[in-house]
Every structure is written in C-alpha cells, then in structure tokens.
Amino acid sequence: MKEKINSIREEINSYSGADSESVESFRVKYISKKSLINDLFEDFKKLSVEEKKEFGKPLNELKTLAKEKLISLSIGTSKEGSDDNELDYSLPAEDDSIGSLHPLRIVRNNIIKIFRDIGFSIEDGPEIEEDWYNFTALNFPENHPAREMQDTFFISKDPDIVLRTHTSNVQIRLMEKQKPPMRVIIPGRVYRNETVSAKSHCFFHQVEGLYIDKNVSFKDLKDTLYYFAKEMFGSDTKVRFRPSYFPFTEPSAEMDISWKNGWLEILGSGLVDPNVLKNCEIDPKEYSGFAFGMGIERIAMLKYGIDDLRLFSENDKRFLRQFRGVH
C-alpha cells in the first residue's frame, strides 16, 4: 500500500497536460470511480485496523493532491484556450449598455441651445467670489439678509469672500471688462446656506441672462422669455409676468407658465438697475438692458415630473438610468 501511494504521488506531481484531452485523461486515471486512487480506497477496506490507522491519512492526502492538480491543469488549459479564441458560453454576458447624460446636463444643454439660436453667447466665472461682485456691485444694501451667514457660505470675513449665491457675479465681471453691446447667458453652480430637503439644497444650478445695448426695453425682455418658454415647454405654453423685487433690476418681474390646471413660477427677471450699470462704468443714459435667472433643477423637475431635489445629487443609478436616450 505504501509503495503504491508513493508511486501515484510521484506520477501526479510530474504530470503535465497542455490541452483539454490531457486534463480529461488525468481525471479518469486519478479521480474517477475507475481511477487508481479509487482502487486504493477499495483495497483500504480490506486492511486491518492498525494498517488503516497507518495509511488512512496518506491516502486522503493523495486524493486531495489529485483534486488540486486537476484544478491547476484546468486553469492552465483555460488560459491557453483563450489564445485560440475559445469562449466559455456559461459565463454571464457583459453589460454593453452605455451611460446617459445627467438630467441637469440635458436641461442645461437645451437652455443653452435655445438662447444660442437667438444670438446669446455662453460665459462662465468663479464660484468663490468677492463681496463686490456677489453683492455690492449688484446693488445689495448693507443690511440685506443675503449678506448674513445664515443665508450665505462665507470663506472669510473682512474682506468678505463667499461661495457665490448666483451667477450674477459673472455679469458684473463682464460689464467691467467689456463694452456694450453684450448678449450672454451664464450657466453654473451656486450655493446657499439652506437645509437639504426635497425642496431645497445647499447647492444648485442656475442660468442667468444679460442683454445690454442701446434702447433695450421691457418688451425685448418679454419677447425673449416668451420665445424661451415656448421652445422649452411647448408652443401651447401660456406665460404671465407678475411684479416682483430684485436689488439689481428695476422694474422686476417673475415669470409664470401655464402648468396643468394652474400657474408655476420658473424665473425672475427685470431691467438692469441704472445703479448696477454705473457700478460697471456704463452710462445708463446711453445704455439699458435686461437680466433674468432660472434654476436648472426647477426646469428639470417640471419637465420630468421629479418631486425630490436630492435625487439630482445622490448618483443613484436607478434614477439616472431612466434618462438613457434622452437629449
């Protein structure tokens, strides 16, 4: 028994197989019911108690060695087979689906296209901003609530550096370095010190627009926004303007669109306040203009029936997969 075990062990250790036929031959010879090892177990049954104690452990180790050798030979054969383009059809199929644009990116792109088609260019600017560009130049009074820490994220105080609360800071920068006429939209991320909930968030995305030229009137503003509403929401969309207040526009108005059985506010707008033009060294007697701003999340929630603002920033694949193929 001892000599047979040692002999078979040597055969197993020295065995090498380069193809699937060799692996199968190994299995039949050493592991199958008609194998050499199985014959040894049959002989083992006839041994005395003392002999079983002596050869039981070596025989089990031999069986384990044979199984491990078979696994090793199988792995080697699989690697070689892959070079011959042999496929394992039992493996699950690869996911060949492509990703999708984020719904906010889809809406952002649509807004940009609508305004680009009527001559607006696209501008961008810093998200960390000085007080002058975020508040003072935009005609915010010293005691305005937006200047307080409960509404704004401050990077530092004296001088005040903040995370911008709107993209209007880019309007000021453009008017400082560019002479009219100018017609731009400014998409970007903005920040507010608000509690995160289904209806509010500490950051969101805006698109603001600015048009400065000679003899710009409120009618020009209304015509532009009428066009936007019908392009974005459909030709049957009705629009109304309601008086409002913003520090940087005068007069100011909020625009509502007809939605289901009522009205929904989608943006704020107005004629650029003469003080804002003066702060940028533009003569308000020669030039006038209008400005407007809208939340991209707000538009996306309306278009796609989304009722929780947090979904846009949670990166939940179940949510994002719904927008495959949407442009």
Per-residue confidence band for 215, with pLDDT thresholds at 50, 70 and 90: very high
Yes or no: say if 5 and 58 are a contact pair by the CB < 8 Å rule. yes
Asked whether residue 120 carries a pLDDT value surpassing 90, the answer given is yes
Average pLDDT over residues 59-65: 86
Q: What is the pLDDT of residue 96?
A: 63
Note whether 191 and 200 are within 8 A (CB): no
Place 95 in a pLDDT band, splitting at 50, 70 and 90.
Answer: low
- On the CB side of 124, CA atoms within 13 Å amount to 5
The whole-angstrom separation of Cα 10 and Cα 12 is 5
Phi, psi of 253, deg, nearest 5: -155, 145
Give the pLDDT band of residue 242 (cuts 50, 70, 90).
very high
**pTM of the shown model:** 0.69
Place of tokens 């452990």: 57
Dist. CA 139–CA 134, nearest whole Å = 10
What is the predicted pLDDT for the residue at 76?
Answer: 64
Is residue 205 predicted with pLDDT exceeding 70?
Answer: yes
Question: Is the bond preceding residue 243 a cis peptide, omega within 30 degrees?
Answer: no
Nearest residue to 273 via CA among 189, 205, 180, 210: 210
At residue 150, the pLDDT reads 66
Place of tokens 């533009």: 282
Q: Write down the residue that tokens 């846009």 correspond to.
A: 312
* CA–CA distance, 76 with 54 (Å, rounded to integer): 35
Is the distance from CB of 221 to CB of 269 less than 8 angstroms?
Answer: yes
Burial class for 218, CB neighbours closer than 10 Å (0-12, 13-18, 19+)? middle
pLDDT > 70: percent of the chain: 94
